[in-house]
Structure 1
Amino acid sequence: MVWKRVGRYSLRLLVAGVVCLLGFLLADRIWPLPDPDRVRSVLILAQDRTPLRAFADSEGVWRYPVTLDEVSPRYVQALLEYEDRWFYRHPGINPLALARAGWQWLEGGRVVSGGSTLTMQVARILDPHERTLSGKLRQMFRALQLEWHYHKDEILTFYLNLAPFGGPIEGVQTASFAWLHKPALELSYAEAALLAVLPQAPSRLRPDRHPELAQQYRDKVLRRMAAQGVWTQETVEDALREPVIRARFRQPMAAPLFAQRMKAQAFATQQARLQTALDANIQWALENVLRTRMGSLPAGASAGVLVVENSTGYVRGYAGSADFFAADRFGHVDMVQAVRSPGSTLKPFLYGMAVDDGLLHSASLLSDVPIRREDYAPQNFFRHFSGAVSLAQALQQSLNIPAVDVLQRLNPASFVARLRNGGVTIRFPGQAEPNLSVILGGAGTTLEDLVRGFTAFAREGVSIKPRFLPAEPLVERRMLSAGAAWIIQDILRAVSPPEGSVNHAGIAWKTGTSYGFRDAWAVGVSDAYTVGVWTGRPDGTPLPGRFGAYAAGPILFDIFRALPGNVNGNVRRRPDNVERVDICWPLGGRADTTAPKHCHVRLQAWTLDGRVPPTLPNVQQYSWSAGLQTYWVNPQTGLRVTSECVVPERVSRQVAMWPLEVQPWLADSVLEKMRLPGFDPACPTSRQYQGGVELAIRNLDASTRLYLPATASGQQTLGVTVDLLAQGGEGQYFWLVNGEPVGIDPERDGLRYTFTRAGDYDLTVFDAAGAVDKMPIRVVSQ
């Protein structure tokens, strides 16, 4: 009978249990648990999980999501011991704790201790209710739901992220940064105890308002930890001596524009915390440099900086503006993404492509002289010209004229297409097409694209797209060959650093200044990093005198000095197909295959794939091109002859000629090497064979003043026309105005030329024998 009675009771209990379980499952389906993982506020993190910037939710609540392993074990110990020591043993509800709390309430007429477990506290946060019996039953139901759907560690993590800590602050990580200015992983014993007790009365215990009361409650937790033997008495006594300091709530605000850029991605992917590739230490150093340099920036000026790690493409530092909070500097405008004129920063790519195409080597002779291409007449930045320069000199000095000349040979549309293929997008206004001005900044690009392109100089010619997130895919593009990239970066490494800076890291760097001083750039490459700096006014107003080397260069070198791993210099290995050879000007070929008499200037050059391209011919067909000129002489007299000269014998000779346009800048000793001998007396007596008289400009002199005719207001002057005349010398005359070839006078009877603008002009005349005469004149408006 007894066993039958026990069996009936067991069956009833089993049925009751099943009914309760089914009822619970039905209720769980009817009243589902609110989602504890719903995204409210968003936290953007650095690579090491340092908070960069937080964005509150629509209700203004701040929460920095955190995982259990990112919280100090001291805090977890204090929390569980003080709030719910049986957390890992009960099913969400602790009947003993509830019974004790109820008895104390009945006995004392007030609440002495709470009976809520941590699970129940999470339930109340997710589903708030009134402090009534029905409310308590609802809370218990939600607690059971939590235990049914989640593991204990997950529930504890919910508490770590959802617990209130005073005002708009939720979660232990937010509280730790707000009240203690440190991550929750670094809490001391005293700090752990303080944060463990704050959620009991978050408004009354706020450290920024009631530090004394907060300390009293903290000490209560500390003493309980000692009494329970969780922490040693000595540890607790040390913690009790630590005061609670009144601290202001301060939000992290590192890389604010970068974080704002990442915020959209966090919301799109429903991530409450987004871990980026940014390096917190590099970002701090970068922002410190900008703070230090702020005083040197003119009113209304800002700056943009991007630091990319060459090996991975990860963005390690990002400053979209000089000061995010400076409205007068347009601090809210992200200049890393802004489209601006790149100035001269595209020249390294141009010369690298010319080397790849076999047009040039590092010491190729280029002409830095005044030129005009249809309606386009570029000028150098400092308004002077150097004549004959090497590729290396043209790039290091950022000369405009040689770059325009090389771009014309490469073709602007092709150059822009190759840049785009290499990762640098060039933007043109409206329906404009690529033209020669693109190499001097006559288009637009972004700091981000420019830095991407420059990474190719540290990565064997392959650029890498900046990566903001660790999981972002790797995107690489071929910009140049490995050899051409090495040659260009070697040239740029020799550029002197700004005054007061030292190039210990072997930085290859290039500056740029846009038209009207609206943009100043400096981009540098070391083995480890590529850094780009932009300065200027975001609204596009000019900053006269603020050019790249002066305005952006010092910031660039300050940042490189602050970067890790930039003290051993550039150690990139030279590719096997890059060779140093001796070459000769003006022909441009190898010195060992050039006759000594034709080697007027000997230089060392980096060559690619064994190619030593000769000096390029001038694109203007009527201009004298560099090369060997053959002439004939009478072997008995050594004087020049032609087929019209009556001599018994003639032999050929050759002379190496420099490009006509650079001859005004050549030293007399070099000009003498090109001078042809006079004509033999056996030649005819026509003007073509006149000789023995020194070449000279004869109708104009240094005192000459030519007056432009007066015109009605608003009308274009027709200019003043003169005949350019010379006397003496030999053969036909070649005329240049301000170094630009303007015509040939084969009959030596004058070349008509019209001056249309007032100003100072330099006239130059050459004869067929290489003699030269120069004369300054002035054209004046009436």
Structure 2
Amino acid sequence: MKRRFSRQYIIRLLKRIAIVMAGLVILFFLLNWIFPLPDKIDYSSILTDGKGEVINASLTNDDKWRMKTELDEISPLLRKTIIAKEDKHFYSHPGINVVAIGRAFFKNLFRWKRTSGASTITMQVARALEHRKRTLPNKIAEMFRALQLEWKYDKDEILQMYLNLVPYGGNIEGVKAAALLYFNKNPDHLSLAEITALSIIPNRPSSLVIGRHNGRIVEERNRWLQKFADDDVFTDKEISDALAEPLTATRNTVPHYAPHLFYKLSRQQKGAIESHIDLNMQLKTEKIVLDYVRSQRLRNIRNAAVVIIDNRTNRVVSYVGSSDFTDTLDDGQVNGAAAIRQPGSTLKPLLYALCFDEGLLTPKSVMTDVPVNYEGYAPENYDQKFNGYVSIQYALEHSLNIPAVKSLSLLGQEKMIDQLIKCRFKQIEKDRKKLGLSLILGGCGTTLEELTALFAAFANEGKFSRPSFTNADSVKNTVQLISPAASYMINNILSKVNRPDFPLNWTATERMPKIAWKTGTSYGRRDGWSIGYNKNYTVGIWTGNFSGAGVPDLSGANIATPLLFRIFNTIDYNNDKEWFSPPADLELRQVCSETGLPPGDHCTSITSDYFIPLISSTRTCSNWQEIMTSPDEKIAYCKSCAPATGYKKKWYKMIEPEMQLWFAENRIAFQSIPPHNPDCELIFKGSAPVIQFPVNKMEYLINKKNPEPLQLICKTAPDVSKVYWYINNKFYKASPSGEKQFFLPEEGPVKISCTDDKGRNRNITIYVKFVNL
């Protein structure tokens, strides 16, 4: 009976224990749900360079230097030392060491004071997450939090949290911040002596301050090292080396290199930011920019920005947002590399490359550089001069505006905009409906980051890749922007040195590697650009003022390019070993130098030109035509009106009316086609005059007090020698083809008509209003 009672008693006891345990488990999960673990830790944002060294950091929201120590930064030595000192049984207890609690309780009870603690590493993490006064209820809450931590995280993660939260004096928390600020090292580079010295700081943060109490710290450090020796934690050699190591550490400041890049990236990514910055190159570039801008301040040019991309990896290895981040007078904290500015002529290489790929042009294609008007838009060259016939190569080398606008009109601005959007030109994508032909002359918004990335595509056979700023930039959206053939043709043109934008100071190029580069100057001389590249690097330069003030001396050629050359001299000194090779799908052919087309039977001046087989135009040159004329060459005949006998045939060079006008204005002699037979009864169709000015349907405001006449300008076919102007259906004046006329209109709608000597007519209507100006 006694035995049966005993067995029943044990069974009931086990059931009660099981019920209690189940109740405790249920209670734990209930409390865990009601009081979730406050484990959201605010870490400092830090920026590391390509070698993993910290080059910039910021305080947390509670003004702490708390830098996250990653698991791979916890070296075996660091792990072993911390566990030996703080919690020998860390990997065996569930967050609470019951034996240590009992031992501490009896020690404190019999001595009537606190002489021994029982906090595990997990409990110390719980205490760091919730700062509480040291009372018994709070201790119980701390144990509950420790159990929550053990339930949610594994041991290595808890150790990582401990090393991230432990205080090391002042506003320094975590071993990474302490290692950097006291020893200028990463945690995995700390020695045994340094780890031990740091481990004693949290217990006495006010009396053991590194830099002020190094002697006391060494004494305490050595005491712990001797204890490690007694417990056989480390070998005698390791202990003796650590004991002999001096402690010369003091509190340092956090490095603040590449500040513009750091603040840019820290807004996008919190915590550790692993950049590709080459710190040596970064510091050299910053110094060059600072010194250069100082030399330009007498010209009132007060800032510059630089972006450098490694073309082989597409990584941003240097990033300078202004000449001096600390300069408050000239807005040094503004990031000029990311600021939206007008790009000037820097988009022209892409335009011509796209035209090459469309078969519209080749480098030796000839275009007219004379006044042109596109529905009121009349572009001018930078020097306000015109050059007549020019090749595309010459137009790009000299950055002529009119051939660029004509090329964009030929290509279609939508195709150009689409390609820029593929290259992530955000402002252009936003404004695409507002953009016109002025886009190619800088009538849009871009950034130095975008332009530098675009030019890096020329160095990579026309493939555009989004530049990589950090290791987190894993997605590589590569776009074949232009063909390798078009890319090579552009590289060949932009690497010529006989250009007007070549620096006057030859010493800047004495040891510089061969590069291709393009300059740009925005409207009002507010921005000076120069972007260059070779096989190794693409370097983008912006110069100007963050205030937007224009400067008469500012231009891409005069100001930005010398800085570009100085930087290339530094980062790729004397490197002429590699250059771009022509791709297999690019060939040379003979072309007429007057048109850039394959020569016809009467072409006498021949040159060689690159072309893309099956893409480039195969149309032959028809620059010369045979015309039937009277024996005295005063009248020209067509097939319908030519006499049976008594005429002659003569070859004439076909000159566009706009060129005839330019030749006349510049007093350049040319042979014009004689006027057509006036007795010819053929009705001429097509090729009616085009009235270039005034512009159809435009409103013109004229000053009442000092009215100025309007110009009458038209474009006619080559066989036209005379035009007749009519105003509101009344004859006004006859004039030679291409000659400018002037008239003072009446107020209201005005009909203007132009009829050529073949009877072809064109009408437009303008609206005139007289105002007090």
- The one-letter code of the counterpart of 1:139 is E
> Quick check: 1:43–1:51 contact (8 Å CA) kept in 2?
no
Aligned length: 685
* Equivalent residue number for residue 464 of structure 2: 463
Query: Which residues of 2 match residues 195-594 of structure 1 at below 5 A?
Result: 195-245=198-248, 247-266=250-269, 272-275=271-274, 283=282, 286-296=285-295, 298=297, 301-308=302-309, 310=311, 314-371=315-372, 375-421=376-422, 423-425=424-426, 427=428, 433-468=434-469, 470=472, 472-495=474-497, 498=503, 499=505, 500-501=508-509, 506-560=514-568, 567=575, 570-590=578-598, 593-594=599-600
Q: Secondary structure at the match of 2:611?
A: strand
| Structure 1 position 567, deviation (Å) | 4.6
Of 162, 181, 185, which aligns to 2:188?
185
Q: Secondary structure at the match of 1:517?
A: coil
Percent of aligned positions that are identical: 34
Q: Within the alignment, does 1:715 sit opposite 2:719 as a pair?
A: no
| Structure 1 position 434, deviation (Å) | 3.0
Q: Secondary structure at the match of 1:491?
A: helix
Q: Secondary structure at the match of 1:516?
A: coil
Question: C-alpha distance in 1, partners of 2:8/2:301?
Answer: 88
> Quick check: 1:341–1:445 contact (8 Å CA) kept in 2?
yes
> Quick check: 1:368–1:401 contact (8 Å CA) kept in 2?
yes
> Quick check: 2:302–2:544 contact (8 Å CA) kept in 1?
yes
Question: C-alpha distance in 2, partners of 1:582/1:339?
Answer: 43
* Equivalent residue number for residue 31 of structure 2: 31
Question: C-alpha distance in 1, partners of 2:534/2:365?
Answer: 26
Question: C-alpha distance in 2, partners of 1:565/1:11?
Answer: 87
Higher alpha-carbon deviation: 458-467 or 166-175: 458-467
> Quick check: 2:325–2:332 contact (8 Å CA) kept in 1?
yes
Q: Within the alignment, does 1:22 sit opposite 2:19 as a pair?
A: no
> Quick check: 2:421–2:428 contact (8 Å CA) kept in 1?
no
CA distance 1:4–1:20, shift in 2 (3 Å): same
Higher alpha-carbon deviation: 538-547 or 605-614: 605-614
| Structure 1 position 471, deviation (Å) | 5.0
Query: Which residues of 2 match residues 651-730 of structure 1 at below 5 A?
Result: 652-656=649-653, 715-718=706-709
CA distance 1:648–1:319, shift in 2 (3 Å): same
> Quick check: 1:630–1:652 contact (8 Å CA) kept in 2?
yes
The CA deviation string for residues 164-197 of structure 1, in whole angstroms up to 9 with x for no partner, is 1122221111111222222112223332222222
Higher alpha-carbon deviation: 486-495 or 249-258: 249-258
CA distance 1:162–1:616, shift in 2 (3 Å): farther
> Quick check: 1:304–1:336 contact (8 Å CA) kept in 2?
yes
* Equivalent residue number for residue 764 of structure 1: none
CA distance 1:313–1:27, shift in 2 (3 Å): farther
* Equivalent residue number for residue 67 of structure 2: 64
CA distance 1:422–1:101, shift in 2 (3 Å): closer
The CA deviation string for residues 8-29 of structure 1, in whole angstroms up to 9 with x for no partner, is 8976885576456435423422
Question: C-alpha distance in 1, partners of 2:243/2:58?
Answer: 35
| Structure 1 position 120, deviation (Å) | 2.1
CA RMSD of aligned residues (A): 4.7
Question: C-alpha distance in 1, partners of 2:739/2:129?
Answer: 93
Question: C-alpha distance in 1, partners of 2:21/2:279?
Answer: 51
Question: C-alpha distance in 2, partners of 1:37/1:287?
Answer: 40
The CA deviation string for residues 732-752 of structure 1, in whole angstroms up to 9 with x for no partner, is 799xxxxxxxx99659xx967
CA distance 1:532–1:284, shift in 2 (3 Å): same
| Structure 1 position 145, deviation (Å) | 3.5
CA distance 1:580–1:205, shift in 2 (3 Å): farther
Question: C-alpha distance in 2, partners of 1:203/1:476?
Answer: 56
> Quick check: 1:387–1:663 contact (8 Å CA) kept in 2?
no
Q: Secondary structure at the match of 1:515?
A: coil
> Quick check: 1:277–1:314 contact (8 Å CA) kept in 2?
yes
TM-score, with structure 1 as normaliser: 0.74
- The one-letter code of the counterpart of 2:125 is V
* Equivalent residue number for residue 779 of structure 1: none
| Structure 1 position 370, deviation (Å) | 5.0
CA distance 1:169–1:517, shift in 2 (3 Å): same
> Quick check: 2:423–2:466 contact (8 Å CA) kept in 1?
no
> Quick check: 2:340–2:447 contact (8 Å CA) kept in 1?
yes
Q: Secondary structure at the match of 2:202?
A: helix
Of 592, 613, 631, which aligns to 1:609?
613
TM-score, with structure 2 as normaliser: 0.75
CA distance 1:352–1:65, shift in 2 (3 Å): same
Question: C-alpha distance in 2, partners of 1:345/1:563?
Answer: 23
| Structure 1 position 571, deviation (Å) | 4.6
| Structure 1 position 460, deviation (Å) | 3.6
> Quick check: 2:652–2:673 contact (8 Å CA) kept in 1?
no
Question: C-alpha distance in 2, partners of 1:199/1:175?
Answer: 11
> Quick check: 2:363–2:610 contact (8 Å CA) kept in 1?
yes
* Structure 2 unpaired stretches of 5+: 678-701, 713-719, 724-732, 745-773
Question: C-alpha distance in 2, partners of 1:516/1:464?
Answer: 32
- The one-letter code of the counterpart of 2:557 is A
